[in-house]
Chains A and B, each alone.
Chain A
Amino acid sequence: MMRDIVVIGGGASGLAASISAKKKGKDVLLIEREDTLGGILNQCIHNGFGLEVFKEEYTGPEYAHKFVEEFMDLKIDYLINTTVIKLDKNNDDFIITLSSKELGIKNITARSVIISSGCYERTRGQISMPGDRPNGVITAGSAQRYLNINGYMVGKKVFILGSGDIGLIMARRMYLEGAEVLGVAEIMPYSNGLNRNIVQCLNDFDIPLYLSHTVTNVEADEFKKLKAITIQQVDERFNPIPNTEKHFEVDTLLLSIGLIPDITLLDDLYVEVDPKTKSAKINQAYETSVKGLFICGNSLQVHDLVDNVSKESTRAGISASDYLDGLVKDRKKIAIKPGKNVLYVAPQYLDFGWEDKDLLITFRSSKKIEKAIVKVYQGEALVYQKRRAFIVPAEMETLSFAYQELNQDQDLMIEIEEV
């Protein structure tokens, strides 16, 4: 049987995308590899979710539950405990290879696919952290899962590398569970987490934050268990500065050093990838360079707030539905490029064939800027600008403007100007 839309991944993103596509009357199948829907939200037992979508504050599981309820009410088809092991395209149709205990290995076909497979945590291997490789160095999200889902503590004396939000949340969580949290080191001169998390998770518990510091040595004991770490201040080029070493005896080093979109499923499809987002390039409809293949949520770009994941994925679900309804025309497209002080932008293309879609550009700055003007140029022409009092890389920025009158031959460039 040919499905209208297959959604891969049943976390915040996949739930929202399925719901919006189903509401448009499409036949949707969602595939989730875990035994429950809701994804990483299930292990995020802290609050702070939902302020934008529901105007109320929820915990992660509560936020997920709101969406799961709606998903169930709409009677959307789904499979759990099922892994997609291959995604391929045959003319206009997608072939999705599933693997599970119940189904074995099975191919299904769909006219459109939405990737909402989330992200994975950067590991110590990817940053080539020097020293021993003992047990006790663990990504913050894995430790969070062990703590909040399985009910076990990974250590009692903890240091955290990286000030990403999961690291900050885990600093507080482990502290409240009785662990000694000795500090957080961040290689950048500014925090990578939301300001509210710095205040509520570190400052409120007197946990020191060492900016422009990184871990420069990891020591194991005779059994290859973590015994101690050394942190060191770094210069502008991130090289350790001699004689700034600080030594901490710890049994756990949590890593919160970045999240990377999980797009390994796209490997067989020759999707155009943006090295900056480490995900597929998209147009304003969240469509990748492969027609009918959409991507959203943290598998597209790593978000700060789940509310934005839900909103983005809702739009992606509607786009997939519009695609099936034949609302897309074959027109020109232009690139949207990151310029001065801009780390990345998504979408990377503006496709005039999707002219009914609003253009919502998300981007991050490459540094902290007070009093900024965000400008969009087409060649020499300034087509849009807005003032921002304060821009930091840790917080995703958005802008939106009407583009239907733009010249269809010249690329757009986004810049952040310091006033």
Chain B
Amino acid sequence: MYDYIVIGAGVIGSCIARELSRYQLKVLVLEKENDVANVQSLANSAIVHSGHNPEPGSLKAKLSVWGNKLYEDMEKELDIPLIRTGAFVVAHNEDEEEQLIELAKTAKINQVPEFSILNYNEAVLIEPNLSKTITKVLSLPTTKVTYPWEVAFAAMENAIKNGVEFKKNALVTAISKENKKFQVTVNNKKIYETLNIINAAGVASDDIASLIENNVKFKIKGRKGEYFVLDKRVKGFVNHVLYPLPTELGKGVLITPQVHGEILLGPNSLEVEDKYHPTTSYDGLAYVKEHASMLAENIPFNQIIRSFAGIRSTSDYDDFYIKESLEYTNLYHLGGIDSPGLTACFAIAKYLVNDVMNVDQKYNINPNFDPYRKKRKLFHRLSNEEKLALISEEPLYGNIICKCEKITEKEILDAMHGPLGSNTIKGIKKRTRAGAGLCQGGYCEEKIMKMIAKEFNLSPLEVAYDKEETKLFVSETKVKL
């Protein structure tokens, strides 16, 4: 019997799990995917927004400004990567300049700590590749960029360390309630009992709610966003996040520097019929190129190494829906956590746990709670002295497996073990970046496949890309060499 079951291990579920682990509680996290951060948290812009554009007074406004501040703490506690890029929202003409001034007013009401309006001549000194068609920018120095996968890994690893249980490949198929206890059925088989349920299922959150509620108060519509990734060779092309003016569709197509040096272009924002199935399209990608070009001159499109589509769990409720169920007490929903969900994730967790659920008043503090989690640094980013010191202890740091991102054998082995270790190609990529570079795994996937097989005592036929069903191979060659 659990005190809390959290459904979903994206950045939101992972941060909630960690927040709950501050108390003397028995907590279980159920994730349908084969890894944390595998749907909405997998594919997004990675921005920690300043909180400049949500409607004043909304939860989005409050939690994004607060969430942005919390990232500073989490960088220290959880070793989450953070680059302090700042951002420019751009205007191209008088009309847009007026909107920019309105936006600055919103930023002020939302208590964004610092902002200023610069004219083109001032801004271009800071960002030399800024589009010449731009006339003014709203500078938002508190905007940052993080690494969403690492946010989920860090929060969940820390939660596990503090006593939370985590089960992946665990699809919730039924929920019922009897005698103040919920019965949560996983994969149509196993039943877990719990006093409370937190529905942090993101894109699936309305479907999870409908497993038990007759009248679900929010409906996830699903808006996809398409992106290009430019190789890390373009690092420095822009150093700020560049935004157009926001519209009702969202923040628009952005140019976003990433923590490992790549640059993202995108996203567009299109409502899709199948929210579980965002795909890229000719038109969508062309739209991204066209709109990105309004932000900067001479974007190096020849450095594109990947395109992808992500999904936002936008709902018909026009704010974050973070409430207790109207039909069942002790069932809590986090619906419509689209942008700025990543920005707000740590604040959402605190708001839910303390303000909505009053856990801090109901339960005792976990005396063993350790807020700290240390991430191993990327080896190739260490100083020469640090590298040599590590290599003398562990020679496997000398063996480069992913040549594009310079990821070593030791780092890949580390990613296979530990509380959130992975035995899949995709899991290793998310943890180490092996395969995320120029050749997109063309060189290293085979080596990682062999390492996984060896380390987990599997036949190569059993090694999967992600889910169990996505095996790399179908059979052995007819004649073995």
Identify the A interface with B (CB < 8 A). 33, 81, 83, 85, 99-105, 120-121, 123-126, 128-135, 139, 141-142, 145-156, 177-178, 216-218, 220, 223-225, 240, 251, 264, 267, 275
Task: Supply 19 further A-B pairs (C-beta < 8 A) apart from A126-B304, A149-B481.
Answer: A101-B396, A102-B398, A104-B392, A126-B305, A128-B228, A128-B285, A130-B285, A142-B445, A146-B446, A148-B477, A148-B481, A150-B449, A151-B477, A152-B460, A154-B474, A217-B279, A223-B469, A224-B467, A264-B438
CB distance from A48 to the nearest CB of B (A): 20
- Report if B404 contacts A (CB, 8 A): yes
Residues of B within 8 Å of A105, CB to CB, are: 384, 387-388, 391, 398
Q: Which residues of B in the span 302-325 have a Cβ within 8 Å of any Cβ on A?
A: 302, 304-308
CB distance from B466 to the nearest CB of A (A): 6
CB distance from A167 to the nearest CB of B (A): 14
- Report if B229 contacts A (CB, 8 A): yes
- Mark contacts of B451-477 with chain A using CB atoms, 8 A cut-off: 1 yes-contact digit, 0 otherwise: 000000000110001110110111111
Neighbour of B477 across the interface among A83, A101, A153, CB < 8 A? A153
CB distance from B438 to the nearest CB of A (A): 7
CB distance from B427 to the nearest CB of A (A): 13
CB distance from B306 to the nearest CB of A (A): 3
Between-chain CB contacts (< 8 Å), 25 pairs: A83-B399, A100-B399, A101-B409, A102-B398, A103-B398, A104-B398, A105-B398, A123-B305, A130-B281, A130-B284, A131-B280, A135-B472, A141-B442, A146-B472, A146-B473, A150-B450, A151-B480, A152-B475, A154-B472, A156-B474, A156-B475, A177-B477, A216-B282, A224-B467, A264-B438
Residues of A within 8 Å of B396, CB to CB, are: 101
- Mark contacts of B388-413 with chain A using CB atoms, 8 A cut-off: 1 yes-contact digit, 0 otherwise: 10011001111110011010110000
CB distance from B266 to the nearest CB of A (A): 12
Top 6 nearest A-B pairs (CB, nearest first) are A125-B306, A223-B469, A152-B473, A135-B465, A83-B400, A135-B470
- Cβ A83 vs Cβ B465 within 8 A: no
- Cβ A130 vs Cβ B384 within 8 A: no
Count class of interface residues, chain B: 35 or more
- Cβ B307 vs Cβ A125 within 8 A: yes
- Report if B277 contacts A (CB, 8 A): yes
CA distance A178 to B284 in the complex (A): 38
- Cβ B438 vs Cβ A99 within 8 A: no
CB distance from A29 to the nearest CB of B (A): 18
- Cβ B400 vs Cβ A133 within 8 A: no
- Cβ A125 vs Cβ B304 within 8 A: yes
In the complex, which residue of chain B has the Cβ closest to the Cβ of A267?
A: B233
Neighbour of B398 across the interface among A100, A134, A149, A217, CB < 8 A? A100
- Cβ B440 vs Cβ A123 within 8 A: yes
- Cβ A142 vs Cβ B477 within 8 A: no
In the complex, which residue of chain A has the Cβ closest to the Cβ of B475?
A: A153
Neighbour of A224 across the interface among B228, B442, B470, CB < 8 A? B470
CA distance A140 to B285 in the complex (A): 25
